[in-house]
Chain A
Amino acid sequence: MTSPSFDTIVDGLSEVDCDVLVIGGGTAGPMAALKAKQKNPKAKVILLEKANVKRSGAISMGMDGLNNAVIPGYATPEQYVKEITIANDGIVDQKAVLKYAQNCYSIIEELDSFGIRFQKNENGDFDVKKVHHIGTYVLPMPNGETVKKALYRQLRRAQMLISNRYMATRLLTGKSGRIAGAIAVNTRTAEFLVIKAKAVILCMGAAGRLGLPTSGYMFGTYENAANSGDGYAMAYHAGAKLANLECFQINPLIKDYNGPACAYVAGPFGAYTANNEGKRFIECDYWSGQMMLEFFNELQSGKGPVFLKLNHLHSDTVGEIETILHTVERPTRGLFHENRKTDYRKDMVEMHISEIGFCSGHSASGVFVDDFARTTIPGLYAAGDMASVPHNYMLGAFTNGAVAGEDAAEFALNHDFEAFDAADVKLEQARVLAPTKREDGIPPNQIEYKTRRLVNDYFQPPKVTRKFELGQARLAEVREDMENNMVVTNAHELMRALEATSILDCADMAAHASLYRAESRWGLYHLRTDHPDKDNENWFCHTLLSKQDGKMTSEKKAVDPYVVPVAEEEKDLYDKQRIRASA
């Protein structure tokens, strides 16, 4: 019944060129594109998006607040750097975090000028809330549902060149190793677009479709399912290095709904995470690996399940929380509770932990970037959830996107186009179109389901070496099926097939990186039963994963000397998440 104008596979290839290509129009991408254009108004900047920039990315429907706002009077950049260093067990490139912390306030002011309002108190000051273990960084956004619209207005004003419904599939590099552009495929026609670019910025979101939700649906409710790890896979195949992928992202979510519980919103009003006795068991609801480990332990114990508790709060307070939680970011949450007749005033909300993913927005697994958002490939940048600056959330995507945009514009000014081998385009066309050439085989949803089911079975922490090895062997079989037997009948399915290849690449990287780091670190995120202890002597370092001579390889990278010192007695503050029994 689908209209023939949609999804029919068309043979075609066009070529364009630009100074700066931004891939991904969610959060970091629009800001990167705007800043590149501001930096050099003469530059030709293209913003490429798999969906439509109007509503794409993790903040499609909006966001309820800034989770990491460093605002003068409430916190200093140095305090923030220290907190994030401790929350990450010390494995942090502080220079990049410090730059974020120093820049983010001016980005808040700029977002304010876009019409995105932030909560202010009766004195007219920003109304910042404490959610982190040590400092105060959470700033509510009362009209957070307008974020994407405000961004789109800015893109229109700047007359940005936008290509919607194009999915980038591979990066092009030249002989010198420099970036040369990207190859993309139209998600509704399968026509190819080759974009030659002097600089490329990857803003392609998390790998949020890695583990499989238990709901029976392939897509969860937490992460925009379009964030299938395409950026991680593309960076990998281009030869870029990826940092600390074993530091998985695992979130506390509302059970069954699979969406965010938003303790960051409800917490400052007095809500908290509780066990089946209605008691607190963690000191702080800020997401860290250590917090998630206590969450996991409580779920497994006789005191599980875990709940978000609001039923001790005044009815008016609950009303205020409901207004935020049910209108901004994920409005279907209200509908979910309504169906079950859950009333926050009476009932606690049952929670669970999510399947695994990669996301620097919340943990630390991303394409390695320095404090200029530069990857290890000259001319290639990354920002947002897929870049390695840890815990950077939405404001980090905006702030580091801005850094990337400015530096990329500068890079494009100083470099000409890098030549690439036309054979690379031919090879990629053949790879992409292979599932369209088959009459028979396995559909992409089954390839994806099997990959992700294996991820759950074998890679979900606690990580067991033997299980990882079995999982790798099974995934190798899926890869063979994917490469030789995957079949699609239209362009939409082809997009899903290409996403399935990204997901499988991410699954392989998750396993490889996890087996490399022979210790336990970051609480639940990298809890290895065969190496249960933290081993600072051998593993106080980043790990970098990359493709070397066609093979997946991992290496250590020393942690750069701190620019903000952390005192010995502060280093393990995040290890003490469990509420101690009172004497």
Chain B
Amino acid sequence: MPFAHSPSAVPVVVDDAKCIAEKGCRVCIDVCPLDVLRLSDETGKAYMAYDECWYCMPCEADCPTGAVKVNIPYLLK
């Protein structure tokens, strides 16, 4: 069976202007308990690659530049 991908608005948003992943920072990717953050090949910045979140917030709390924001996603709102 071929696969389809359904769109889903993700809760974790990274401000590319503030993210310093290009300087080697991996803090949010390192701390995420569910390992859902990755580096984008296009921008070199961190982004939420897998919509598998429990809204725990270490990514936001530990980010050294305040680039990461955890939102309450639409279905929970």
Enumerate chain A interface residues (CB-CB to B < 8 A). Answer: 1-4, 6-7, 51-52, 54-57, 60-61, 145, 165, 187-188, 215-221, 223-226, 256-259, 330-332, 335-336, 339-340, 440-443, 492, 495-496
Q: Which of A6, A56, A165 contacts B38 (CB 8 A)?
A: A6
A335 and B72 in contact, given A60-B56, A61-B58, A225-B52 (Cβ under 8 angstroms): yes
Instruction: Determine the distance from Cα of A226 to Cα of B34 in the docked complex, in whole angstroms.
Output: 6
Contact of B54 (CB < 8 Å), options: A52, A219, A441: A219
| Choice from A3, A165, A217, A226 contacting B75 with Cβ under 8 Å | A217
Chain A residues closer than 8 Å to B76, beta-carbon distance: 215, 217, 221, 256-258, 336
| Chain B residues touching A, majority SS | loop
Alpha-carbon separation in the docked complex, A330 to B3 (Å)? 35
- In the complex, besides A61-B57, A61-B61, 20 extra interface pairs with C-beta distance below 8 angstroms are A2-B38, A52-B31, A188-B35, A215-B75, A217-B75, A217-B76, A219-B34, A220-B54, A221-B55, A224-B33, A225-B34, A330-B55, A331-B57, A332-B57, A332-B70, A336-B72, A336-B76, A440-B1, A443-B3, A492-B35
A52 contacts B39, CB within 8 Å?
A: no
Decide: A1 and B34 in contact? CB cutoff 8 A. Answer: no
**Closest residue on chain A to residue B27 by CB atoms:** A54
> Which residues in B have their C-beta under 8 angstroms from that of A336?
72, 76-77
Given A188-B35, A218-B52, A219-B34, is A55 in contact with B41 using a C-beta cutoff of 8 Å? no
- With A256-B76, A336-B76 already in contact, the answer to whether A55 and B40 are too (CB < 8 A) is no
Q: How far is the CA of A442 from the CA of B3 in the complex (A)?
A: 9
A339 lies within 8 A of B72 (CB): yes
Q: Are B53 and A219 closer than 8 Å at their CB atoms?
A: yes
Contact flags B32-70 to A (C-beta < 8 A → 1, else 0): 111100111110000101111111111001100000001
Residues in A whose Cβ lies below 8 Å from that of B33: 51-52, 55-57, 60, 224-226
Q: How far is the CB of A38 from chain B (nearest CB, A)?
A: 27
- The residue in chain A whose Cβ has the minimal distance to the Cβ of B29 is A6
Nearest A residue to B62, CB-CB = A55
**A interface secondary structure, majority:** loop
> Complex: how many Å from CA A440 to CA B58?
36
Residues of B within 8 A of A51 (CB): 32-35
Are B58 and A55 neighbours in the complex by a CB distance under 8 Å? Answer: yes
* Nearest B residue (CB) for A218: B52
Contacts of B31 in A (CB 8 A): 52, 54-55
CB of B15 closer than 8 Å to a CB of A: no
Specify which chain A residues have a CB less than 8 angstroms from the CB of B51 in the assembled complex: 217
Q: Which of A51, A220, A332, A441 has the most CB of B within 10 A?
A: A332
Nearest-neighbour CB distance to chain B for A53, whole angstroms, equals 10
Query: Closest A-chain residue to B38, C-beta based?
Result: A2
Instruction: Decide: B73 and A495 in contact? CB cutoff 8 A.
Output: no
How far is B73's CA from A52's CA once the two chains are assembled, in angstroms? 24
Query: Closest residue of chain A to B73, judged by CB?
Result: A217
Cβ–Cβ < 8 Å partners of B41 in chain A? 1-4
Chain A to chain B contacts (Cβ below 8 Å), 17 pairs? A1-B41, A1-B49, A2-B49, A3-B39, A52-B30, A52-B31, A52-B32, A55-B31, A60-B33, A217-B76, A219-B54, A225-B54, A226-B33, A257-B76, A330-B55, A331-B61, A340-B77
